[in-house]
Amino acid sequence: MQPPPRKVKAAQEVKLRFLEQLSILQTRQQREADLLEDIRSYSKQRAAIEREYGQALQKLAGPFLKREGHRSGEMDSRTVFGAWRCLLDATVAGGQTRLQASDRYRDLAGGAGRNTKEQVLRKGTENLQRAQAEVLQSVRELSRSRKLYGQRERVWALAQEKAADVQARLNRSDHGIFHSRTSLQKLSAKLSVQSAQYSQQLRAARNEYLLNLVATNAHLDHYYQEELPALLKALVSELSEHLRDPLTSLSHTELEAAELVLEHAHRGEQTTSQVGWEQDLKRFLQEPGVFSPTPPQQFQPAGADQVYALEWGAEGVEGESGLEKEVQRWTNRAARDYKIQNHGRRVLQRLEQKRQQASEREAPGVEQRLQEVRESIRRAQVSQVKGAARLALLQGAGLDVQHWLKPAMTQAQDEVEQERRLSEARLSQKDLSPTAEDAELSDFEECEEAGELFEEPAPISLVTRPLPCPAHVVFGYQAGREDELTIMEGEWLEVIEEGDADEWVKARNQHGDVGFVPERYLNFPDLSFPESRHNSDNPLGAEPTAFLARALYSYAAQSAEELSFPEGALIRLLPRAQDGVDDGFWRGEFGGCVGVFPSLLVEELLGPPGAPELSDPEQTLPSPSPPSFSPPAPTSVLDGPVLSEDKALDFPGLQDMMAPRLRPMRPPPPPPAKALDPDHLDPLT
């Protein structure tokens, strides 16, 4: 049976989709640039030929009519390509000398060329990439919150199983030889407290995931419904103007210079005047199919969790839940966005008036300020859409959103009205017009700076492991593919690459072999010990103890008490005396042999505080069998993204997006259905 195909991360799929959009825009730009160069070349040759002989017009138009691009199906007269074809037909019909039109053609040939068009396209592409980067960042935040939610659910489920196992043993009075009923009761109480803590952490992670989910869906919808059409509208309209003007000039020249071909020239002028960026944009959006909005992303429960909605829970001060704090925060944010948009529009009007009266030296600065204000308004609109989605979800969960929203919006409207009256009072004093204008801009800057207090908090950082890190094999695994690694129960590995949503990690064994192994077959001591135990075993501020070392060089024992090992081997360090003097030799175990070796030949791998041998055996119980693994549902940009390991906030370049980092995306096999050995130390106990 063949394994399922590897999946692509949702964030990576979104990047590839954005890359496809940019590629299509560049293809269109290339076609229009070629067309513009054809028009300029045509005009230059036309000016020279009409000075010599009018009949050369047929020879001139012939090569352009034979071009491959003009024989394609895009011959609609409402596009620039259709208008260009009509103009060539009119040129063929003009067979007389038009010396008086030579100067006009020469001026047309020296007009705006490819550089102007590329500058317009570069400006529009930068705005599109900026909007795409914000959408991609929202998807990444959603992926991070979803992975944190999945991690919290697995820890909670494992704690529930352990608590149930201990309670069952208490009910059966099966405490064994090494445990008393009192110790089992203490352990049961401890596990119950841990289970409650993990349940609270799971609820908080789930709530954060749901909030990010609706915000990301709202952002995606706003991108496809508002931002993308607006950006393409601005881009195509400017580019169409650069293409329509030369065609219109050629048509008018034909009308003025040749009465014999008046009918053909008039037809060319009519078709050229029908060229509009609205129709051209509509046809362009219908052709590729990649600019159509994607279906909203759906919530994907992790593991055995069946809660699909926001859940109340006391997470803050007494009498106020975490969801109520979210309502307060996003209502304040909505009021702030409302103020920024209203104030920004008023500032835009002032700057537009100033730009019309500004000199050439001041015009670039005013234009830059206009772009900054427009960008601030756009960011406020995006924030308003995402916040409205969050508030709608909170209201659907039973919270009284209007109780907080109405006062906040009322106060914001009063402040906006007060600022408007103050602005009118400033502008009424004509002699203080510059001062009033500066005050207007200063108020908007203060409004933007005050809005930073309501910025969205950074997503909760996930618990990550420093790489490389040691791992203990809990279950053996036989490699089934070339890129996998066979592991044995009880051996130590060095994880050199973090896993992905399907829980595969790349590891190196003691013999230096590297391959992918299932993450659930491993135990990571540095992340498994509870916080309470960490604090008790390791004083505050103390350095973590290294309990594994990796051999940088191979070493052959020089005596019976020394230890031999190859390069890359993982050596388990044995405890040293706390006040002992380091003589340059350490004591460790490798391959079942114990001995000393030079410490300069190895590299310490930091692990949990305290060696495993120091654990209290009375608090150790045989762990229940691990939960059966169910691979996550296939994810795509249509269902809901999974966690992306990318950490760059800026929108990457095209080359970076074309070279995604691929890992095994097949589901790992479930762990064997057997309990751990009673002597094995469980991190959660």
**92, containing H or E segment:** helix 80-93
- pLDDT tens by residue, 608-620: 433 333 333 333 3
CA dist 339 → 303, 423, 426 (Å)? 43, 14, 19
Q: Which of 184-193, 314-323, 372-381, 645-654 has the highest mean pLDDT?
A: 372-381
- The angle subtended at Cα 194 by Cα 191 and Cα 195, nearest 5°, is 85
pLDDT of residue 486: 92
Same domain, 282 and 329: no
Rg (CA), the chain: 35
Distance, CA of 40 to CA of 246 (rounded, Å)? 8
Q: Which of 225-239, 302-316, 328-342, 519-533 has the highest mean pLDDT?
A: 328-342
Q: How confident is the model at residue 666 (pLDDT cuts 50, 70, 90)?
A: low
Can you say how many angstroms the Cα of residue 224 is from the centroid of all Cα atoms in its chain?
16
Q: Could you tell me the end-to-end alpha-carbon distance of the chain, in angstroms, rounded to an integer?
A: 39
The arithmetic mean of pLDDT across residues 652-673, rounded, is: 44
Distance, CA of 19 to CA of 13 (rounded, Å)? 10
pLDDT of residue 672: 57
In a domain, 529, yes or no: no
In a domain, 657, yes or no: no
Same domain, 271 and 325: no
Backbone angles phi, psi at 467, to 5 degrees: -105, 140
3-state secondary structure of 112: coil
Same domain, 445 and 351: yes
pLDDT of residue 619: 36
- The angle subtended at Cα 649 by Cα 289 and Cα 315, nearest 5°, is 105
Largest CA distance in the chain: 115
Same domain, 339 and 410: yes
Same domain, 34 and 76: yes
Q: How confident is the model at residue 418 (pLDDT cuts 50, 70, 90)?
A: confident
pLDDT of residue 385: 93
In the numeric block, the tokens 């970076």 are attached to: 656
Domain boundary among 414, 439, 463: 463
- 492, 478 Cβ separation under 8 angstroms: no
* Paired tokens of 528: 């498994």
Distance, CA of 586 to CA of 572 (rounded, Å)? 11
- pLDDT tens by residue, 500-551: 545 788 898 888 889 989 888 888 875 433 343 334 344 333 344 447 888 8
What are all long-range contacts of 359-368, with beta carbons under 8 Å and residues at least 24 apart?
none
pLDDT at 101 over 50: yes
* Paired tokens of 520: 């659930």
In a domain, 76, yes or no: yes
Distance, CA of 347 to CA of 521 (rounded, Å)? 61
Backbone angles phi, psi at 383, to 5 degrees: -65, -35
- DSSP notation for 118-168: HHHHHHHHHHHHHHHHHHHHHHHHHHHHHHHHHHHHHHHHHHHHHHHHHHH
Same domain, 371 and 432: yes
Domain boundary among 435, 463, 491: 463
Q: What percent of the chain has a predicted confidence (pLDDT) above 70?
A: 67
Same domain, 247 and 340: no
- pLDDT tens by residue, 395-417: 988 888 998 899 989 998 988 88
Return mean pLDDT, the chain.
Answer: 73
- pLDDT tens by residue, 200-224: 999 999 999 999 899 989 988 888 8
Alpha helices for 258-362 (secondary structure H): 262-273, 277-286, 322-357
Q: Which domain holds residue 392?
A: 320-463
- pLDDT tens by residue, 169-181: 777 776 666 667 7
CA dist 528 → 151, 462, 497, 524 (Å)? 12, 14, 18, 6
Q: What percent of the chain has a predicted confidence (pLDDT) above 90?
A: 9
pLDDT of residue 110: 63
- 506, 516 Cβ separation under 8 angstroms: yes
In the numeric block, the tokens 């053996």 are attached to: 476
pLDDT of residue 675: 39
Nearest alpha-carbon partner for 622 in 567, 681, 539, 574: 681
In a domain, 540, yes or no: no
In a domain, 559, yes or no: no
pLDDT of residue 388: 93
Same domain, 279 and 326: no
pLDDT at 656 over 50: no
pLDDT at 583 over 80: no
In a domain, 423, yes or no: yes
Same domain, 260 and 359: no
CA atoms within 13 A on the CB side of 295: 7
Residue type, 533: R
- CB within 8 A of 273, min separation 6: which ones? 248
Lowest mean pLDDT among 262-271, 367-376, 445-454: 445-454
- pLDDT tens by residue, 421-460: 887 777 666 544 444 555 555 556 566 555 544 444 444 4
* Paired tokens of 564: 């031999």
In a domain, 543, yes or no: no
**Domain count within the chain:** 2
Q: How confident is the model at residue 239 (pLDDT cuts 50, 70, 90)?
A: low
Domain boundary among 445, 463, 481: 463
- The answer to pTM > 0.95 is no
Same domain, 85 and 33: yes
In a domain, 217, yes or no: no
Same domain, 115 and 256: yes
Same domain, 277 and 345: no
pLDDT of residue 643: 31
Distance, CA of 451 to CA of 11 (rounded, Å)? 28
- DSSP notation for 242-281: HHHHHHHHHHHHHHHH-STTHHHHHHHHHHHHT--HHHHH
Distance, CA of 154 to CA of 152 (rounded, Å)? 6
Q: How confident is the model at residue 148 (pLDDT cuts 50, 70, 90)?
A: very high
